[in-house]
Amino acid sequence: MKTFVPQPSEHNRKWYLIDASDKVLGRLASEIAKKIRGKDNPLFTPYFDMGASVVVINAEKVRLTGKKKQMKKYYWHTGYPGGLKSESVERMLATHPERVIQNAVKGMLPKNRLGRKLNKRLFIYAGSKHPHQAQMLEPLEI
């Protein structure tokens, strides 16, 4: 008996189109992360990139439950002394709605070079227009 190990070269990558209109952020992000990682694939291998590419449209219409719009903050540090910066989700949705979904999905991917590679296959757009018509996009209902 030999153990079957799938090879990434044998994998046909799919493209999915997800409309984020009126979807709850956390539930949407977990489904996106599952598709990008390939965990819904029967040939899933944790150390290979066996997932799909995902295009998300209407990012500005994503929903947050409770008081998260006013209370939740994103923090980052500039690298300089006293350089801790923060921004609320409400302001980020108004200025860069793509980053809200990007941060949520990034937190659900592995924190290593595979996770950084997987993160490059997520394409998020604030409106309904996107430049990926050439790929055969399968609409995905979540």
pLDDT digits (tens, 9 = 90+) for 94-135: 999 999 999 999 999 999 999 999 999 999 999 999 999 999
Task: Report d(CA 7, CA 48) in Å as an integer.
Answer: 8
Element (H, E) at 6: none
> Which of 126, 86, 100, 110 lies closest to 24 in space, CA to CA?
100
- For residue 132, the model assigns a pLDDT of 94
Domains of the chain: residue spans and CATH = 14-139 (3.90.1180.10)
Each residue's pLDDT, cut to its tens digit, for the chain (142 residues) gives 898 888 888 888 999 999 999 999 999 999 999 999 999 998 899 999 999 999 999 999 999 999 999 999 999 999 999 999 999 999 999 999 999 999 999 999 999 999 999 999 999 999 999 999 999 899 998 8
Task: Specify the pTM.
Answer: 0.92
- For residue 83, the model assigns a pLDDT of 98
> Which of 102, 100, 75 lies closest to 89 in space, CA to CA?
100
Indicate the burial class of 56 (C-beta count within 10 angstroms; 0-12, 13-18, 19 or more).
buried
Task: Report d(CA 110, CA 33) in Å as an integer.
Answer: 10
